[in-house]
Amino acid sequence: MSAHPEEQPQKITVRNLQAKKQAGEKIVCLTAYDASFADVLDRAGVDVVLVGDSLGMVVQGHETTLSVTVSDMLYHSKAVSRGLSRSMLMVDMPYLSYTSAQQALENAGQFMKRANAQMVKLEGGAEQIEIVSSLARNGIPVCAHLGLQPQRVHKLGGYQVQGREAGAADAMLSEAQQLEQAGADLMLLECVPQLLAERITRALDIPVIGIGAGAGCDGQILVLYDILGISKGRVPRFSRNFMAEAEDVESAVEAYIDAVKKGEFPGGEHVFS
């Protein structure tokens, strides 16, 4: 045994996230793909570190996230896990790795058992109810992902804001409630009008994390390389380069955490209506 358990930093759990929502304290999340950046995020105080399938774009250089495999996610999740002491580790289920409850359980189980994941994230609405409920029944915390779902980019015909029409907004709210009912512990909303995101955040008991969804969510997430200004190509409008005014990577991450906690990020220029 290494240090006495009381000397080790306490890992963030689903209960901590729930308590933050109830206390009105913002939840700060970022992506990471390796141990060194994970360590920086952990020491700076990021609550949840997501090994996102965005790694297909920002690490592997693909146009979309579709080519990312379970074994890619395992490799990067294991590395990130070694860098974390306090932050919760959340791992994205890659494209076509959760087409049935059985397949989802087997793949999510690998992330939990082999990479110390504490939560998995999967894209989709009502069609994922059975999968979310099976994972929850088997003790696997789930973050559901609504709004813009990058794994469906070809079906959607591009990366666009979702839920602008009244019918689509009502449907998203209803799907969010069904996913919570099925056992999801966290909800992520991507590229959603801010008023709809606020409505969903108020309607759910579980914490809602936004990316391009406005400051009314319970927390925020961004892609690490976007906040460091090193992403290849166009950076999304909802993101901000925190490196522009920082002396080093640590200070940029701290500036992001500070801005989220104070409700200063996202600002009006980062939201959709």
- The residues, ordered by sequence, that sit 6+ positions from 175 with a Cβ below 8 Å of its Cβ are 125, 126, 146
Binding mask 197-236 for ligand KIV (x = CB under 6 A): --------------x---------x-x-------------
Closest CA to 191 of 204, 175, 172: 172
Options 175, 190, 198, 254, the catalytic residue: 190
By the rule CB under 6 A, 53 interacts with ligand KIV: yes
Q: How far is the CB of 92 from ligand KIV (least distance, A)?
A: 5
Please state, in angstroms and rounded to a whole number, the distance separating the CA atoms of residues 203 and 93.
26
Residue 18's H or E segment, with its range, is helix 14-23
Q: Is 165 a catalytic residue?
A: no
3-state secondary structure of 69: coil
By the rule CB under 6 A, 70 interacts with ligand KIV: no
Q: Which stretch binds ligand KIV (CB under 6 A): 48-56, 71-79, 104-112, 130-138?
A: 48-56
Q: Cα 233 to the chain's mean position, in Å?
A: 22
Q: Which residue is nearest to ligand KIV (CB)?
A: 52
Q: How far is the CB of 14 from ligand KIV (least distance, A)?
A: 18
Nearer CB in complex with ligand KIV: 52/216: 52
Residues 79-138 that bind ligand KIV (CB under 6 A): 92
Question: Out of 20, 31, 191, 272, which residue is the one contacting ligand KIV (CB under 6 A)?
Answer: 31
Please state, in angstroms and rounded to a whole number, the distance separating the CA atoms of residues 46 and 128.
28
- The residues, ordered by sequence, that sit 6+ positions from 261 with a Cβ below 8 Å of its Cβ are 25, 26, 28
Calculate Rg over the CA atoms of the chain: 17
Residues annotated catalytic, as ranges = 190
Binding site for ligand KIV (CB under 6 A): 31, 50, 52-54, 92, 188, 211, 221, 223
